[in-house]
Amino acid sequence: MSQASFKEFLWKNYQIAFKNQDLLQEALTQRNYLNEHPQEHGRDYQRLEFLGDAVMQEAVTEYLFKRYPNWHEGQLTEMRITMVQTRSFAHFARVIHLDEGIRLGKGEEMNGARNRDSLLEDIWEAFIGALYLDQGSQVLRQLLEKTLFAAIDDNFFDQFIDFKSRLQERLQVKGAVAIEYVTLKEEVLPDHIQRFEVSVSVDGQELAQGSGRSIKDAEKAAARLALQELDNKK
Amino acid sequence: MSQASFKEFLWKNYQIAFKNQDLLQEALTQRNYLNEHPQEHGRDYQRLEFLGDAVMQEAVTEYLFKRYPNWHEGQLTEMRITMVQTRSFAHFARVIHLDEGIRLGKGEEMNGARNRDSLLEDIWEAFIGALYLDQGSQVLRQLLEKTLFAAIDDNFFDQFIDFKSRLQERLQVKGAVAIEYVTLKEEVLPDHIQRFEVSVSVDGQELAQGSGRSIKDAEKAAARLALQELDNKK
């Protein structure tokens, strides 16, 4: 695990090689590392994080705006919130092996900061800021197409969405309603995996059925499908 | 006052002419206008506002990042907050005569919405979103150079900054201090304009002097100069 292997990973998987290595170093350097290495004259990642935060927000906004021409601003905002958040950015920082490249202070290293979501989020934003400056918006966009944007099609962001709350909010717009989740079936598949089937009803009328490996997952799936049904009816 | 005169103003002063007139219309249209004109099939400005908000944030962030290479992220954030805010955007909406182009519902028109800062902020963002889509980031950047970014050199944003609070925060970082403003001079100039001179001291030591047409303005000027002095000493 080293910066060299991170750079190799970036080149092999995304054909990205920084022209300005100092810029990449800045994005990967935590403040205490500099305190412990007074001979280094670089900066820590915080200025680049300031830039990258805005660059990420703009890139995701523009992508969603163009991808979903029929969504209204409320739907776009909801989707952006699920994509632009700590757990999401930390995940993609790990996907591109950014965690291997970070230059940490010793104390932070011992405290496990290298695997902490909040640090990985910061470093992801700083890296995006550096990439934007070094390679331009086209290369940045290509990286996001292969990571964050591709994840939409894999339903990756569903894990961050509370579909049951969202369904409730949607249905309660016109006043109080009774939403009921009923477990229809519970079975054990040959490989010892449990499978639940759940239906969701509002005021006694079934909206959708969902399945999952736990009752919670099945209810979430049912709520997600019910929301889709409601969207299609509009 | 009409859309035609707004478009003429945009062309004469900024050499901007939209290729896609529907997009410009969308940015200028308030929801109730559409309700009152059911024959129109366009949308209101809200989707474009969602885009333009992120585009503005990114453009200002990138500009400040590059203009002030020695500022740390705290200073950059402070400056961005003063630039990206309702009063600022409403001002520049008026500067480019956007207010003349808005298509409002009758009720809003009667309630004076055309001159309301919150609406002008929304329309500014929607217009920026439309401009970005229609003309690209270079043209957008040129418009901002002539408006928002030029205003930095005119100290336009100073009016939004509470320099006295900022000085207090800066000085109190290392513990409690006694900050004192003393009026040194009060005079009436030939044209009946009052002029005040104020000094600001911390723990009995003078930091700076400032002048203005009221004691409040003079104190603000003194605080601003004191902050500059502190920055220069670093």
Give me the sheet containing A205-212, strands edge to edge.
Answer: A179-188, A194-202, A205-212
User: How much is the pLDDT for A234?
Assistant: 63
pLDDT digits (tens, 9 = 90+) for A53-64: 999 999 999 999
Nearest CA distance, B191 vs chain A (angstrom):
48
Which residue does chain A place closest to B49, by CA atoms?
Answer: A73
Residues of A with CB under 8 A from a CB of B: 46-47, 49-51, 53-55, 57-58, 61-62, 65, 71-73, 76-77
pLDDT score, position A100 = 94
Q: Please, are residues B208 and B226 in contact by the beta-carbon 8 Å criterion?
A: yes
B191 catalytic residue (yes or no): no
Rounded percentage of chain B residues whose pLDDT exceeds 90: 82
Q: What is the 3-state secondary structure (H, E, C) of chain A?
A: CCHHHHHHHHHHHHCCCCCCHHHHHHHCECHHHHHHCCCCCCCCCHHHHHHHHHHHHHHHHHHHHHHCCCCCHHHHHHHHHHHCCHHHHHHHHHHCCHHHHCECCHHHHHCCHHHCHHHHHHHHHHHHHHHHHHHHHHHHHHHHHHCHHHHHHCCHHHHHCCHHHHHHHHHHHHCCCCEEEEEEEEEECCCCCEEEEEEEEECCEEEEEEEECCHHHHHHHHHHHHHHHHHHHC
Contacts of B71 in chain A (CB under 8 A): 47
What is the phi/psi pair of residue B210, to 5°? -140, 160
Task: Give the pLDDT band (50/70/90) at residue A37.
Answer: very high
User: From A54, which residue of chain B is nearest by alpha-carbon distance?
Assistant: B58
Q: Which of B54, B73, B77 sits opposite A57 (nearest CB)?
A: B54
Q: Which of A100, A105, A152 is nearest to A123 (CA)?
A: A100
What tokens does A185 get?
């079936």
Residue A2: which pLDDT band, with cuts at 50, 70 and 90? confident
Tell me if B206 sits within 8 A of B199, measured CB to CB.
Answer: yes
**pLDDT tens column, B78-91:** 999 999 999 999 99
pLDDT at B161 over 80: yes
Both tokens of residue B125? 């963002």
pLDDT tens readout for residues A176-215 = 889 999 999 999 988 888 999 999 999 989 999 999 999 9
Instruction: Please tell me which residue of chain A has the smallest CA distance to B69.
Output: A47
Q: Which domains does chain B carry? A: 3-160 (1.10.1520.10), 163-233 (3.30.160.20)
What residues in B contact A77, CB-CB < 8 Å?
A: 50
Distance CA A13, CA A150 (A): 15
Chain A, chain B: beta-carbon pairs less than 8 Å apart: 53
